[in-house]
Every structure is written in structure tokens, then in C-alpha cells.
Amino acid sequence: MDNPDMIKVDSPRKVLIIEDEHFIGELYERALLRSGYEVTINVDGVKALSEAQTNAYDIILLDLMLPNLNGIEILRTLRDPSATPNLKAKIIITTNLEQRDDIRADIEKQADGYVVKAELTPSELVEFLDNIK
């Protein structure tokens, strides 16, 4: 049954959610689908990296604490042109882990955005992504 609150978009932007907390991924998926995005969720670091390297996504929401391969390693690989040439996706770090300022600054340099999950509701996250060109 169609949800009347869902926004229909002709060329929906594709989002890859790399998040091992199942319920958080579910909430983000719900909010993104309602706003007309296409969504894929991946919970494992290694599999998520492979998926991201297919270059089929416009936005990647990347958690830092993941099983098998952590988010920082994934970020480095995606930013390495020899490992992931011509990546078009915007990478947004979504984390609840607190970092030292110098470490966070280093991560932010490599990513296109940095979000503390507890500080944004799913709708606010979607609004944030809507403003990314």
C-alpha cells in the first residue's frame, strides 16, 4: 500500500547506510525512503567496503565502529584513488563515538560531513543530506 507521506522522486538519490546497529539503520532507512531516497543497508565492514566500491551510490553514511573492518579503514580505502578510483559518493560519517579533536579533524578532512547520531533525529539527518549537493 502506498504511504501518502512518502515523497516520489524521478531520479532518486541512492544512499548506502553502513551501520551495524540494526534499529538505527532501520530508522534511517524509514526516514530516507519517506523522503524519496533509495536505500541499501550493510552491517559488516568488509562487505560494506565492497558494496561502496561498486560506485553505485550518491551518499554513503558511514559508521565508525563496525565488525571486521572499522569505519576509519573503510574511509581511507575509499579515499585512496588506487583502491577506489573516481568515487562519486559523498561520505558522511555518522557516529556516537567521541574523538579527540585532532583525530576528529583528521577524519573530517577525509569525509564530506561528520554527524553525531544522538544529536540528530532521522528527519534532521535527512534534512542534512538534502542540503548536500
Partner 1 sequence: MGFLLENILFGVTVYFSYQYGGLPIYMALACGAIVGLICFSVFSVTISNAILMPLKMVRQAILHISPVADEYEGAPDPKSLKIGRDLIVNLIGQLYQIASVAEHELVAAKGEKPGISHEFIASTMPLPLFILDDSETIKYVNQSASEYIGMEVDELVGKNIYMVLDMAFPSDSTFDRWLKDVKGKSATASESWERVRLNVRENHPTLLFDLAAYYNQSNSDGNSTYIILFDHTKQYSQDDQAVSFVALSVHELRTPLTLLRGYIEVFEQELKGNITPELEDFMEKMRAASEQLTAFVNNILNVARIDDDQMELKLQEEDWQKILTHSIDAISLRAKVRGIELKLEIDPGLPTVAADRLSIQEVINNIIDNAIKYSGESKEIKITSKLNPEGLVETTVVDYGLGISTNILPNLFTKFYRDHRNRAQIGGTGLGLYLSKAIVSAHGGNIWVKSKVGSGSTFGFTLVPYGQLSKDKKSDNGDDLIRGAHGWIKNHSYYKR
Distance of CA 47 to the CA centre of its chain: 14
Binding mask 79-98 for partner 1 (x = CB under 8 A): -----------------xxx
Q: How far apart are CA 86 and CA 95, in angstroms?
A: 25
Q: Which three-class secondary structure state does DSSP give residue 62?
A: strand
| Of the residues 1, 81, 85, 119, which one makes contact with partner 1 according to CB under 8 A | 119
Residue 21 near partner 1 by CB under 8 A: yes
Residue 118 near partner 1 by CB under 8 A: yes
Radius of gyration of the chain (CA): 14
* Minimum CB–partner distance for residue 108 and partner 1 (Å): 11
Q: How far apart are CA 1 and CA 43, in angstroms?
A: 28
* Smaller CB separation from partner 1, 4 or 85: 4
| Of the residues 82, 86, 88, 102, which one makes contact with partner 1 according to CB under 8 A | 102
Q: How far apart are CA 3 and CA 78, in angstroms?
A: 35
DSSP structure class, residue 100 = -
Residue 70 near partner 1 by CB under 8 A: no
Which residues contact partner 1 by CB under 8 A?
5, 21, 23-24, 27, 30, 65, 96-102, 116-119, 121-123
